[in-house]
A = this chain, B = another copy of it.
Amino acid sequence: MSKSLSMLFTLVNKSNILGQIRYYASSALPQLSSEKYGIKRKHFSPLQQEDINYFKSIFKEGQVLTEESEVLPFNIDWIKNCRGQSKLILKPKSTEEVSKILAYCNEKRLAVCPQGGNTGLVGGSVPVFDEIVVNLALMNKINTLDELSGALVCEAGCILETLDDYVRERGLIMPIDLGAKGSCHIGGNVSTNAGGLRLLRYGNLHGCVMGVEAVKADGTIIDCLRTLKKDNTGYHLKHLFIGSEGTLGVVTKVAISCPSLPKAVSLGFFGLKSFENVLQLYKSAKSSLGEILSAFEMADNCAIKSTVENLKIPNPISDYPFYVLVETHGSDENHDNEKLTRFLSKEMESGLIIDGTITSEPAKMKNIWHLRESIAGAGLLDGYVFKYDVSIPLTNYYDIVLSLRKKLGDKVRNVYGYGHIGDGNIHINVTVPQYSKEIYSLLEPYIFEQVAKLNGSISAEHGVGFRKPQFIHYSKDASALQLMRELKRTMDPNGILNPYKVLPDV
């Protein structure tokens, strides 16, 4: 194993998304994004030795990486779809250091790629050309936690799982949970408006984030880091940084509202006959489980089968056309069990649930969640995965999978859908032995056209990043795009922040 690949392997292996997947070590480097997608470099200044010298003069050892082998892992996204050519990685340790970097880069017209845990799926967190990577990993301090109100304040580089462990010990949980939790940063979650598994219950980040501290392109620190649930004093600036994928500013600190740790958690995993039954079961769960419902996830047969086969993860029940995972978070175990049992017996009797298992044992619940969360990575073992993440109103939620299967036939290995029914969010994976332009052109823009026809969103939770700017018009009209451009111009007039991302060229 070459040194650089070994480092890359170490980097990606830290992520629990990948679990036992070991494919990185043996495979080749992905093609450069600029070549693969035919992108032209914009007129930013090229990095000079004097720039590197400047950063070395203000930072300590370990904060400025320039060796080829050191910078490589920061240039590649974890699904090996994108590769940039950055020659400089900066690892600031404070907001003031981020401010100094951006003020300098803005002055010198040097492009910057802000980077969190680099677990994104749309190439938003890796450079395209030689942008300077500003990686927030060393900004990982937890500042304060108010146990009565649930307000947590921490730096952007804190890993989501670390935060969740911390607040759990104090009777709270993080309001967000996703497969990449072992690697992703809270700053990245906020910058990409990450959704995840329990949005249904705890709401989205626009609702949960109480405050943000961010640095604008010119180095100005915007301090909106209050821990108040209500604060109507002027424009709600924090929302500019939630979901703008590092193109309007770099998030440096986050204040977030943590709900109470549920005293009782249960999980059901059910087999169903049809997608129509999945929707009927969702309606019934909303009514029967009410306020304790914390997740309602679905996966089709192929998604589960592939995961079981590729990753050797056991399926706790038999083979069914559709699977549903129902989770409850509540404050009284007896009450919750009663609700869940009543729901289960009613729906087994009605025939909506053909087979299933319910458990409150932590180890068993972990196994079921592991199966669900592993779907995202399992397809990579087929070779290459085209991944889509779209929102579609529920009635037509699953149509796209069926129409893709019909369209692609045996040109691909697998087409499967899984996702968060409660949020109208489906993930579609198309697996092939290796990346193929032919398949790519069959998929795009076809999928986006279909989603637009159904009034859906071409990116539900993964964002636009590098991969989707040219398709954003399927979800946003010309006036909205124009306003986005005006905001970008106002907040980053030289366009140094995360170029080639989010907004399409005019």
Contact = CB atoms under 8 A, between A and B. Distances in A.
Interface of A: 146, 148-149, 192-193, 195, 199, 203-204, 206-208, 216, 220-224, 226-237, 239-240, 242-244, 248, 260, 262-263, 279, 282-283, 286-292, 329-332, 335, 338-339, 391, 393-394, 420, 422-425, 455-464, 468, 472, 475-477, 479-484, 486-487, 489-491, 502-503
B229 A148 contact: no
A231 B468 CA distance: 13
A464 B339 contact: no
A229 B199 contact: yes
A455 B502 CA distance: 35
B393 A222 contact: no
A292 to B, nearest CB: 6
Contact of A475 (B227, B233, B391, B463): B233
A267 B226 CA distance: 31
B335 A338 contact: yes
Contacts of A260: 286-287, 290
A335 B334 CA distance: 9
Given A236-B239, A292-B291, A394-B148, A424 B286 contact: no
Total identical chains: 2
8 contacts: A146-B394, A149-B394, A195-B230, A204-B229, A230-B460, A234-B472, A235-B484, A483-B491
A251 to B, nearest CB: 14
B479 A290 contact: no
B332 A216 contact: no
B234 A503 contact: yes
Contacts of A227: 393, 455
A288 B457 CA distance: 39
Contacts of A330: 290-291
A221 B242 CA distance: 23
Given A227-B393, A486-B490, A487-B490, A232 B288 contact: no
Given A287-B331, A424-B228, A479-B223, A464 B204 contact: no
B290 A228 contact: no
A291 B236 contact: no
A456 B226 CA distance: 8
Contacts of A148: 279, 282-283, 394
Contacts of A456: 228
Contact of A234 (B226, B292, B464): B464
Contact of A207 (B204, B394, B460): B204
A232 B464 contact: yes
Contact of A228 (B282, B457, B480): B457
Contacts of A226: 455, 457, 475
Nearest to A339: B332
Contacts of A236: 193, 206, 239, 242-244
B335 A332 contact: yes
A262 B339 CA distance: 15
Given A204-B207, A335-B332, A490-B486, A232 B457 contact: yes
A344 to B, nearest CB: 15
6 nearest A-B pairs in the assembled complex, by CB-CB distance: A207-B207, A290-B331, A239-B239, A231-B457, A233-B475, A230-B460
A206 to B, nearest CB: 4
A347 to B, nearest CB: 16
Contacts of A461: 230, 232
B232 A193 contact: yes
B207 A329 contact: no
B149 A424 contact: yes
A220 to B, nearest CB: 5
